[in-house]
Copies of this chain bind each other. A is one copy, B any other.
Amino acid sequence: MTPQQLYQHILRKRSFLCVGLDSDIRKIPAHLLREEDPVFAFNKAIIDATADLCIAYKPNLAFYESMGVAGWTAFEKSVKYIRTNYPDQFIIADAKRGDIGNTSAMYARTFFEELDIDAVTVAPYMGEDSVTPFLTYPDKWVILLALTSNKGSHDFQLTAAADGERLFEKVLRTSQEWAGDDRLMYVVGATQGEAFEDVRRIAPRHFLLVPGVGAQGGSLEEVCRYGMTDRCGLIVNSSRAILYADNGEHFADAARQAAQEVQQAMSRLL
């Protein structure tokens, strides 16, 4: 998907919401446990209830891998279900990978070729040759961790070099030598507030994937004030607040309502 197509999708939906499929078998409604593949059944219901309100889905691999083979099956089925039934959706594998070149190339092949996923989150610690294997696929994206939403983001990401440049700023600047804003996005946590201004100084046009609205306490308004560009430039993720809005028989209706509230707020902010 090109940046233009993504922006058109955002305008069409009046939404820049990404629904994070952090689907945890210990949290999904009990009645689904009777299904043959409970996590897929859960995802399918969530997807059908929210697809007209969001522009992206982001399965977090950790939740699937923690269930081993059954989890990978649910992950693949969910990706294929979205791709088949809602082909305009942007699919992000939240994998936070990053390894030496030949290994990253293996991951790229899995996500982009075999599963036709649009984007993969990648950790920058290992540098250029761990990232570039993901950048060779036309219209596929790397979403590089820059400034994350968690408390530990302060441990290393904010460390300033001798010239005053902080590590996340160096990641933003250096990675732009590897690809343009048609292949590269950045993760910037909603909890980072005014740091969005610092991000925009270095990456004025890139799309940012923004986790941390909702359960983690970030503010949608603040993110838009400091981070929005003239072509939106934001994909804001919400996971738990939508998935687990209700854990009874009507969980999908409750998820839809939660997603709709976010979408309506986004429509006003666009």
Contacts and interface: CB of A to CB of B under 8 A. Distances in A.
Interface of A: 22, 24, 60, 62-63, 65-69, 71-73, 76, 96-101, 103-104, 106-107, 109-110, 114-115, 123-131, 145, 148-157, 159-162, 164, 167, 170-171, 174
27 contacts: A22-B103, A24-B106, A60-B103, A62-B103, A63-B103, A65-B106, A66-B106, A66-B109, A66-B114, A69-B69, A96-B97, A123-B125, A124-B125, A125-B148, A126-B150, A127-B151, A127-B153, A127-B155, A128-B155, A129-B150, A129-B152, A130-B150, A130-B152, A159-B161, A160-B162, A162-B162, A162-B164
A152 to B, nearest CB: 2
Contacts of A60: 99, 103
Contacts of A65: 72, 106-107, 110
A203 B52 CA distance: 53
Given A159-B167, A161-B162, A62 B153 contact: no
Nearest to A161: B159
Contacts of A164: 162
Contacts of A145: 125-126
Contact of A100 (B110, B131, B148): B148
Contact of A128 (B96, B151, B162, B167): B151
Contacts of A153: 126-127
A129 B196 CA distance: 22
Given A69-B69, A174-B155, A126 B148 contact: yes
A62 to B, nearest CB: 4
B170 A159 contact: yes
Given A150-B129, A152-B126, A155-B128, A69 B72 contact: yes
Nearest to A74: B69
Contacts of A103: 22, 60, 62-63
